[in-house]
Amino acid sequence: MVRRRVEIKKIEEKSKMYTTFTKRRQGLFKKTKVLCTMCEAEAAVLTFSKAGNAFFFGHPSVESVVKRYFADQSTNSEIEGNQDEFVVEPIPEAEKKIVELMGKGRVAWDVGVRNLGLFELDELAAAIQEIKNKVVAQAQEIINNGEDQEAEFGGTD
Amino acid sequence: MVRRRVEIKKIEEKSKMYTTFTKRRQGLFKKTKVLCTMCEAEAAVLTFSKAGNAFFFGHPSVESVVKRYFADQSTNSEIEGNQDEFVVEPIPEAEKKIVELMGKGRVAWDVGVRNLGLFELDELAAAIQEIKNKVVAQAQEIINNGEDQEAEFGGTD
DNA sequence: ACATCTATATATAAAAT
DNA sequence: TATTTTATATATAGATG
């Protein structure tokens, strides 16, 4: 787009593609920030390079915007046709409790399991079990170590 | 940014703010599309105007990118903007499986449980158990009733 | 209010360091 | 390879229809 007009199509040269991705991603984040500032808007940008690297930007935070996206989906579904039966399962106390406990971390079990077949339900049950195991393990760890578990973030260097 | 350089700050005039929001949001979507095209990237932009209107763009789709965002929390990534607190726990296979199975119904267990205390973890484990029970019960019901439980969507007419 | 127009600010591809 | 520097394409604020 500059020294020479560039075509809007896949860049074949890998290194060039990477450079372009970085520059344009930065530009995107910058513009998003300006938009939010000038218009008191909220926005998030989620990007994944071809190599699989992920970069996110959000105002006021990625977290909150994504959460809002979900909330919005559930209320304003612009799904045409009937959906009276879509979200079906009443949220049991268990789910409420989870939301209560993990609220800040967005949890949403608001979909019914009715459309899953036996095999899938089995896989799902196993997956849930694993999560429970994780919770139990976490509890065990606290018991073992006293209780000062600091979060460890991998350095982005 | 044009006929006259504009300050990057909140626009007070409501109508002007709305116009700007629309123009800039469109620009953002366009740039995102170009980025994806040129760099074979995947990206999603989630925006909410001050009035609360929501606009999304995604390539290959908002859905898939957001899903990937959750899956990615496991590995790590660079995050810009304010993040009042972010995700820490690696997402186990179980969670990926759930996302895979219930993708359309958005599930996200990407929050760490590390900040919960023993008592809370215990409650959480119990809650998870209940959900698992529900899944198992659903499977049982299918077994009991043969297995052609088609979801019943109400007719539109 | 809504689309189109244009003058200019920004973004950015390629070059230079 | 990363950063900085241009030359120019794009985006867009304000104007006009």
Q: Hey, where are the domains in chain B?
A: 91-152
pLDDT of A137 > 80? The answer is: no
Q: How far is the CA of A20 from the C1' of D2 (A)?
A: 14
Residues of A in contact with B42 (CB under 8 A): 47-48
Q: How far is the CA of A2 from the C1' of D9 (A)?
A: 5
More confident residue, A17 or A75: A17
Name the 3-class secondary structure at B9. coil
**Whether A13 contacts chain B with CB within 8 A:** no
Nearest partner of B107 among A111, A45, A98, A130, judged by Cα: A111
* Local confidence band at B20 (pLDDT 50, 70, 90 cut-offs): very high
Count of alpha carbons within 13 Å of B11, Cβ hemisphere only? 18
Residues of B in contact with A34 (CB under 8 A): 8, 24
Residues A93-107: tens digit of each pLDDT: 444 444 444 333 333
More confident residue, A37 or B68: A37
Nearest partner of A32 among B98, B137, B8, B87, judged by Cα: B8
The Cα–Cα gap between A143 and A132 comes to 17
Q: DSSP strand E in chain B: where? A: 42-48, 54-59, 78-81
A 92-131 residues with CB < 8 A to B: 92-95, 97-98, 101-102, 104-118, 120-131
Q: What's the pLDDT at B156?
A: 26
Residues B94-146: tens digit of each pLDDT: 444 444 443 333 333 433 444 455 655 666 666 666 666 666 666 665 665 54
Say which range, A83-97, A113-127, B14-28, B126-140, has the weakest mean pLDDT. Answer: A83-97
Name the 3-class secondary structure at A125. helix
Q: What is the mean pLDDT of chain B?
A: 65
Q: Strand D: which bases are under 7 Å from protein Cβ?
A: 1, 6-15
Tokens of B92: 């186990």
Burial class (CB in 10 A: 0-12, 13-18, 19+), A40: middle
Residues A68-88: tens digit of each pLDDT: 888 776 554 333 322 221 222
Burial class (CB in 10 A: 0-12, 13-18, 19+), A142: middle
Say which range, A147-151, B144-148, B152-156, has the weakest mean pLDDT. Answer: B152-156
Residues B66-93: tens digit of each pLDDT: 888 877 654 444 555 543 222 222 334 4
Of the candidates B17, B25, B80, which has its C-beta nearest A56's C-beta? B80
